Structure 1
Amino acid sequence: MSLLVVGVAACLAGWVALYSLLCHTNGSRGCEWNCRLVTLLHGIMAVSVTAYIGYVDGPWPFTYPGTKNTPLQISAMVLSLGYFLFDMGWCVYFQTEGLVMLAHHTMSILGILLTLWLGESGIESCAVIFGSEITNPLLQARWFLKHSGHYDTFLGDLVDVLFVLLFVFMRVFVGGAMLYCELVSPRPKLVIKCGGVAMYVLSWVFVADIARFAGRKGSVRYRYWRRRALQTQDNKAE
């Protein structure tokens, strides 16, 4: 356990050091820009490692939940735990996120800590990290497009559509299948199953927010396209 504490502390220090380096070399962009660069890097790393764990190293999370943690699973969880601690501290300090996102970070931290402490169910935690972080690059791309003046373009619309579709597919359908396998399996402990239910409920809260966003943006885009169509008809009539 002492090695795990050292590993998490080292990862936390690494993410803090990377953020500090970006702020020093890219200070003109601002704190949130540099924090999101760190978030993007973590998302890419976490998805890559957990995808390898699930699809290559094994075991398959839908078939073997509740199994003992492997060294690679532990490494992936320690890496992400260090990041979540960094990002949680950053969000609290700068007060940039609402209660839902802070709850997500809190549950992610507690879930990884519990899995590391129990020494099992690492494959489910890695699957959750994969499903949570796979939409991260699109989310960050959306933010960077918005703050660089390129959001109200076809690329911005494409990123939004891909984000919504991927988020709903991974969190609702894949996440629901994962939760079902977790609940019906006799291996995972009850506390792990309860944590899975809590994460899935939180995913639906995110989905509700995204649905409201999609409805608003769809309405705005429809009015914009309708206005352009009417202008085109008027120009032809003249």
Structure 2
Amino acid sequence: MVSVVLEVGASLAAWLLLYCCCRRWGKRRSCEWSCRLVTLLHGVVVTCLSGYVALLDGPWPLTHAGSPNTSLQIHVLSLTLGYFIFDLGWCLYFQTEGYLMLFHHMLSICGMIMVLGLGKSATEVNAVVFVSEITNPLLQTRWFLREMGCYHTFLGEVVDFLFVFLFLVLRIGGGALIMYVMVTSPDPNWLLKAGGLAMYIVSLGFMLEICRFVRRKMLKKNCSWTSLRSVNAPVRCNGHLAAR
């Protein structure tokens, strides 16, 4: 347990050092720019690591819920836990996030601490990390595109589509499957089951926000298409096309 605490502390120090380096190299940029660079890097690294653990290294989360933690699972969760502690502290200090995101961070931190302390159930928690973090790089890319004035382009449309698609398929669909296995399996701790259900409810809250975003975007596109057709439509006068 001492080695796990040291590993989490080293992870926290590494993410904090990376943030300080980003601030030093990008003095003209905002603090949020530097923090989102760290978040982007964490999302890419942890998605690859947790995906490898869940899909290749094993054990399979849908059949081995509550199994003992492997060394690789401990390393991945310690790395992620250090980042979440850093990001929660940053959000509280700069007061940039709402209650839903803060609640998500605190649930994630408590869940990973519990799993590392109990020595089991890292299999399903690692899978939850994978389906949750896989959309994070796209979310940060969207923010950077906005900051650079490149969001209203074809690339911005692709990023939005991939983000919504992966969120609904993996975080909502895949997350529901993982939660079902956790709740019905006798091995995971009951407190961990309750935390997993709370995490999924938070994801549903995020889904509502995404649905509102998609609705606004589709309405805006429909209005622009309608106005464009009205401008390009031929004007008729007494049954004849009017000269332009």
Q: TM-score range by the shorter chain?
A: over 0.9
SS at match of 1:68: coil
For residues 38-187 of structure 1, the aligned pairs below 5 Å read 38-187=38-187
* Structure 1: runs of 5+ lacking an equivalent: none
TM-score by length of 1: 0.96
Amino acid across the alignment from 1:164: V
SS at match of 2:28: helix
Q: Partner of 2:25 in structure 1? A: 25
Amino acid across the alignment from 1:170: L
Render the CA deviation track for 1:31-63: whole Å, top value 9, x for unaligned. 111111100000011011111101111000011
User: C-alpha displacement at 1:151, in angstroms?
Assistant: 1.1
Rg larger for: 2
- Give the Cα–Cα distance (whole angstroms) in 2 for the partners of residues 222 and 76 of structure 1: 44
Deviates more, 1:63-72 or 1:171-180: 171-180
Render the CA deviation track for 1:144-163: whole Å, top value 9, x for unaligned. 11111111222212211221
User: C-alpha displacement at 1:234, in angstroms?
Assistant: 4.8
Number of residue equivalences: 238
Q: Partner of 1:208 in structure 2? A: 208
User: C-alpha displacement at 1:193, in angstroms?
Assistant: 1.1
Amino acid across the alignment from 1:129: V
- Give the Cα–Cα distance (whole angstroms) in 1 for the partners of residues 222 and 158 of structure 2: 15
Render the CA deviation track for 1:187-235: whole Å, top value 9, x for unaligned. 1121111111111111111101111111111111111122122222259
Q: Which has the higher helix share?
A: 1
Amino acid across the alignment from 2:115: T
1:189 matched to 2:197? The reply is: no
TM-align CA RMSD: 1.4
- Give the Cα–Cα distance (whole angstroms) in 2 for the partners of residues 153 and 227 of structure 1: 19
Render the CA deviation track for 1:52-80: whole Å, top value 9, x for unaligned. 10111100001100000000000000000
TM-score by length of 2: 0.94
Render the CA deviation track for 1:14-42: whole Å, top value 9, x for unaligned. 00000000110112121111111100000
- Give the Cα–Cα distance (whole angstroms) in 2 for the partners of residues 195 and 157 of structure 1: 34
1:4 matched to 2:9? The reply is: no
Amino acid across the alignment from 2:201: V
Amino acid across the alignment from 2:76: A
